Structure 1
Amino acid sequence: MSSPTRRTVLRGLALAAAATAVPLPAFASSLAPAGYVPPLRQMRGMWIASVVNINWPSKTGLTADQQKAEYLAWLDLAQARKLNAVFVQIRPTADAFWPSPFEPWSQYLTGTQGQDPGYDPLAFLVEETHKRGLAFHAWFNPYRVSMQPDPAKLHPDHPGRKHPDWVIPYGGKLYYNPGMPEVRAFVQDAMMDAVTRYDIDGLHFDDYFYPVNTAAFDDSAAFAQHGQGFPDLAAWRRNNVDLLVQEMQQRVRRAKPEIAWGISPSGIWRNKATDPLGSETSGGQSYDSLHADTRGWVKKGWLDYIAPQIYWYIGQSNADYAKLIPWWSAVAAGTGTQLWIGQAAYKAGAAGQPAEWFRPSELTDHLALNRNHPEVGGDIWYNANDVREDRLGSVSTTVTDHYTRPALGPLLPRLADGHAPRRPVLASAHRGNGGTELHIVATGRDTPFQYAIYRLDRPARSEDFADARNLVAVVPAGRHARWTDPAGAKGAYYYVTAVDRANRQSPPSQGRRVHW
């Protein structure tokens, strides 16, 4: 994903530490600022990268059971950090983490492209993620074909071998040519195969479209064939990416209208010195260097969410976090496009970073600043290794400061009026050895995805369910579910709502008061 540091990582620096569970600091609620109301809904995600085995699998050649154990440890970490979603890279280089009829098995599973890993990783990932009550967003890279430059090293059945005219070598890598309509249709087909066959919650792109600084990217033949009517090469390239984004929205809406479709672009659209609509920055511009009109996509309503990678510290001279958040908030305001922020956990306390990234409070200060901008609906952390390593305690400090209550996932505005689940029955609430034990029963034909549990010291009013002040847990649902509140006390009132996969919430159950 974006920034020179991150691109260096993706050129081959694989952080291959085994993804085993680590001891995590106890979660303790901090005092929120006066007047702060914890939101009922908030994106709390992390990226789990597979390219060059950055996160998962930690290395090639692991057995299926070892790969599964590693992934379960990442889910343990997500829950320990109070997250509610994971963004898992399942098509890193025109390959697949599922048995795809379009592209070969990924080499990052077994070490050999095209080799069957002995199980269906994507089916496993989705099922286990949902068992935890977490959302699974499938992360795709649309055009990158290989992290090396030799087409002959691709699997013999790889589409890039069958259609060598589709592939352009550039910068030590191989790319599909975004300017060829048949390529654009093919990569959509390859990604939609996963969307239609698996029970994913979102389709996600990162910031890679055209490679950076594409002066030597030889797409002149495609431009000659398809570029009529455009003033220059850059405008034609930008239109190619626009078509991909617009067409993906259309295809996702037709196939799975209740999943989220979004992109995590580089954090700078254009600098104000280049364009008066741009941000007060002087960094790389995605509009120009990647041919990605990220602001335009939001304004045209082509995305459910945008998650700009604002990987800079507060006060940075060329790209100030404190200036980019209000800029992106203004872009998203009134559009219906959700705004989530990509956070650079990988920079906090990392060797070679500026001194500002050694402030233990840098990341928690980011989320504190976000609170002043209601358009910001949450954050996604890059990457899972850094969320686990927690250098300087910066991630756990942020969790303690800002994730003081659980949160439901975001509700897309276009789905808000859909059919909510039926309210559950809170069959019982009584004191046990470990706290207050609740028994919850589903009432509708469809089993909910989650139950949201609220605790009050008095009978509830309707407004008590509008935010998270009284929300004590969000748990995976079932026809019958049991949950114990270790902090429950005699006299407390409990209510439960059912939540579906689109994060629509039912009316609350009848209340139960704990009498003993």
Structure 2
Amino acid sequence: MSAPSRRTVLRGLALAAAATAVPFSATQASAERAAWTPPLRQMRGMWIASVLNINWPSKPGLTVDEQKAEYLAWLDLAEQRKLNSIFLQIRPTADAFWPSPYEPWSQYITGTQGQDPGYDPLGFAVEETHKRGLSLHAWFNPYRVSMQADPNKLHPDHPGRKNPTWILPFGGKLYYNPGMPEVRKFCQDAMMHAIENYDLDGLHFDDYFYPTNSTAFNDAEAFAKYGAGFPDLAAWRRNNVDLMVQEMQQRVLASKPEIAWGISPSGIWRNKGTDPLGSDTNGGQSYDNLHADTRGWVKKGWLDYIAPQLYWYIGQPPADYAKLVPWWSDVADGTGTLLWIGQAAYKAGDPAQAPQWQDPKELSKHLTLNQSHPQITGDIWFSAGDVRADRLTSITTAVADHYQRPALSPVLPRLASGRRPHRAVVAQARTTSGGVEVKVVATGPQEPFQFAVFRFDSRPSAEQFENAANLVAVLPGDRHITWTDPEGKRGQYYYALAVDRANRVSRPSNGHRVIF
């Protein structure tokens, strides 16, 4: 974590940038980077989208082996980009990437909704992701039923076919009606089945609630039945979404309290011109357009984290990234809700986008600006395909500038005081032709999720384990693991921390000095 004096300097730079409403100069960016200490904990995630076969599987009907190979390649990419978390879309359209008793197999696996793919994609993804020491967050779309509007094209056993009053057409798609209590409970049950039956690290919603600009969304019948006591349709709809969010929190806490529960909403809650509490922007408002009170969820403590999609460049007139970052930081400050930023990897280098997105360093500048706000503890990149494409080297530039050191995932504040894992043991540290070979051994009854390996030139103080400059590797957990540090030298000291699934760390291991 940065020293207080440095943080004061960084805040001053951020305020100056916001006041002048211009992008950071290269001089400012260099000054901030020089003053910045890499974080020991940082969310580094990417979204892998399945809807319309955006990312995985790349097309319907691939063989099981082809699908598995594609997923493993996404994990290779995450490791290459020094990420630590995957956000995998497993319920894109009221369907499932696992054998669900609630909804049919997704059409994006085989090409036919309801067709068994011959293996368990989610089970495979969980196992392989954890083998790499990466976290897997299950990404759900809560209400979307279909990307087309004909109910007769749904699988005959689809809940929308069996309960036609549950679904409504809008904008060429089908949606579950959020205003029906039985629908809300059903959607929760369908999602919780995956959470309760798989070793997942998080439950994640995207930004789709009520359809955008849904004045023509025909839920008048449900409003007449359930809307008594609300001043208008919009207030009732917001309450419906609030109930979904609040109840999901309660169900996660009751069932799997050590996983993360969060939402990645559209980036503008309300504009200041509409509400004095809003941001200095002029764009689509989630509170009004989607009936999603995103600011309220944070202030009421209903989420473990929020990851607003700030898909604008620094200085963009309707919605300036440099104005939204401090606004969201202020919203999250002191709430216990972690703040991660959704980054628009898909815009960088796209020739159809504004000239600012043709700057290879635009995304890196976003992460530099984030450093001025200690409330921000990481980023999630959309989407995996764009992280791979790396147009104009925009992604590798951001990685080189900001992901130089490994990083552990953040600990949820509500779990920080939980039982720490058992200490690890550094059983060996010896020179080889490739560097220093380090062997780490688990000591407790439970296998750690990860090992964090530290290297020092002399015996360290306790504070030095908080400095990511000393962290040389985050390794997948096992009873024992051997790893070679290519930069290690004789005379140095190696220590390891065991890391559990909640990202809590053990006390440091014994120190092992390299003497031969």
**TM exceeding 0.5:** yes
Give distance in 2, aligned partners of 1:37 and 1:209: 38
Q: Secondary structure at the match of 1:428?
A: strand
- Report the CA distance between 1:466 and its aligned residue: 1.1
Given that residues 94 and 146 in structure 2 are in contact (C-alpha distance below 8 angstroms), is that contact kept between their aligned partners in structure 1?
Answer: yes
Tell me: CA distance 1:331–1:31, structure 2 relative to 1, closer, same or farther (3 Å): closer
Give distance in 1, aligned partners of 2:413 and 2:202: 15
- The residue aligned with 1:11 is none
Q: Secondary structure at the match of 1:34?
A: helix
Give distance in 2, aligned partners of 1:469 and 1:353: 37
Deviations 1:99-148 (A, max 9, x none): 00000000000000000000000000000000000000000001000000
- The residue aligned with 1:145 is 145
- The residue aligned with 1:232 is 232
Report the count of equivalent residues.
487
Give distance in 1, aligned partners of 2:457 and 2:36: 20
Question: Is 2:457 the partner of 1:457?
Answer: yes
> Map of 1:15-34 to 2, 5 A cutoff?
33-34=33-34
| Aligned residue type for 1:54 | I
- Report the CA distance between 1:253 and its aligned residue: 0.4
In structure 1, stretches of 5+ residues that fail to align are 1-29
> Map of 1:175-214 to 2, 5 A cutoff?
175-214=175-214
Q: Secondary structure at the match of 1:331?
A: helix
| Aligned residue type for 1:324 | L
- The residue aligned with 1:15 is none
Q: Secondary structure at the match of 2:468?
A: coil
- Report the CA distance between 1:515 and its aligned residue: 1.4
- The residue aligned with 2:103 is 103
Give distance in 2, aligned partners of 1:95 and 1:386: 25
- The residue aligned with 2:315 is 315
- Report the CA distance between 1:352 and its aligned residue: 0.9
- The residue aligned with 2:424 is 424
| Aligned residue type for 1:447 | E
Given that residues 307 and 340 in structure 1 are in contact (C-alpha distance below 8 angstroms), is that contact kept between their aligned partners in structure 2?
Answer: yes
- Report the CA distance between 1:357 and its aligned residue: 0.5
- The residue aligned with 1:21 is none
| Aligned residue type for 1:75 | L
- The residue aligned with 2:8 is none
Instruction: Give the TM-score of the pair, scaled to structure 1.
Output: 0.94
Q: Secondary structure at the match of 1:247?
A: helix
Q: Secondary structure at the match of 1:341?
A: strand
- Report the CA distance between 1:303 and its aligned residue: 0.1
Given that residues 448 and 499 in structure 2 are in contact (C-alpha distance below 8 angstroms), is that contact kept between their aligned partners in structure 1?
Answer: yes
In structure 2, stretches of 5+ residues that fail to align are 1-29
Question: Is 2:278 the partner of 1:299?
Answer: no
| Aligned residue type for 2:324 | L
Give distance in 1, aligned partners of 2:410 and 2:134: 12
Q: Secondary structure at the match of 1:241?
A: helix
- The residue aligned with 2:257 is 257
Give distance in 2, aligned partners of 1:37 and 1:478: 30
The share of aligned pairs that are identical, in percent, is 72
- The residue aligned with 2:130 is 130
> Map of 1:280-295 to 2, 5 A cutoff?
280-295=280-295
- The residue aligned with 1:20 is none
> Map of 1:331-342 to 2, 5 A cutoff?
331-342=331-342
Give distance in 2, aligned partners of 1:54 and 1:35: 39
Richer in helix (by share): 2
Give distance in 1, aligned partners of 2:299 and 2:52: 35
Deviations 1:131-175 (A, max 9, x none): 000000000001000000000000000000000000000000000
> Map of 1:64-103 to 2, 5 A cutoff?
64-103=64-103
Given that residues 420 and 504 in structure 2 are in contact (C-alpha distance below 8 angstroms), is that contact kept between their aligned partners in structure 1?
Answer: yes
- The residue aligned with 1:247 is 247
Given that residues 329 and 373 in structure 1 are in contact (C-alpha distance below 8 angstroms), is that contact kept between their aligned partners in structure 2?
Answer: yes
Q: Secondary structure at the match of 2:469?
A: coil
Given that residues 32 and 401 in structure 1 are in contact (C-alpha distance below 8 angstroms), is that contact kept between their aligned partners in structure 2?
Answer: no
- The residue aligned with 1:508 is 508
Deviations 1:11-57 (A, max 9, x none): xxxxxxxxxxxxxxxxxxx9983332111100000000000000000
Instruction: Give the TM-score of the pair, scaled to structure 2.
Output: 0.94
More divergent stretch after superposition (320-329 vs 505-514): 505-514
Which structure 1 residue ranges, 4+ long, deviate > 4 Å from structure 2? none
- Report the CA distance between 1:351 and its aligned residue: 2.5
| Aligned residue type for 2:269 | W
Give distance in 1, aligned partners of 2:506 and 2:465: 11
- Report the CA distance between 1:434 and its aligned residue: 1.1
> Map of 1:404-483 to 2, 5 A cutoff?
404-483=404-483
Give distance in 2, aligned partners of 1:432 and 1:356: 47
Give distance in 2, aligned partners of 1:168 and 1:278: 31
Give distance in 1, aligned partners of 2:36 and 2:266: 30
Q: Secondary structure at the match of 2:160?
A: helix
Give distance in 1, aligned partners of 2:277 and 2:456: 47
- Report the CA distance between 1:386 and its aligned residue: 0.3
Give distance in 1, aligned partners of 2:440 and 2:238: 52
Give distance in 1, aligned partners of 2:480 and 2:413: 30
More divergent stretch after superposition (475-484 vs 130-139): 475-484
Q: Secondary structure at the match of 2:454?
A: strand
Give distance in 2, aligned partners of 1:50 and 1:423: 39
| Aligned residue type for 1:181 | P
- The residue aligned with 1:348 is 348
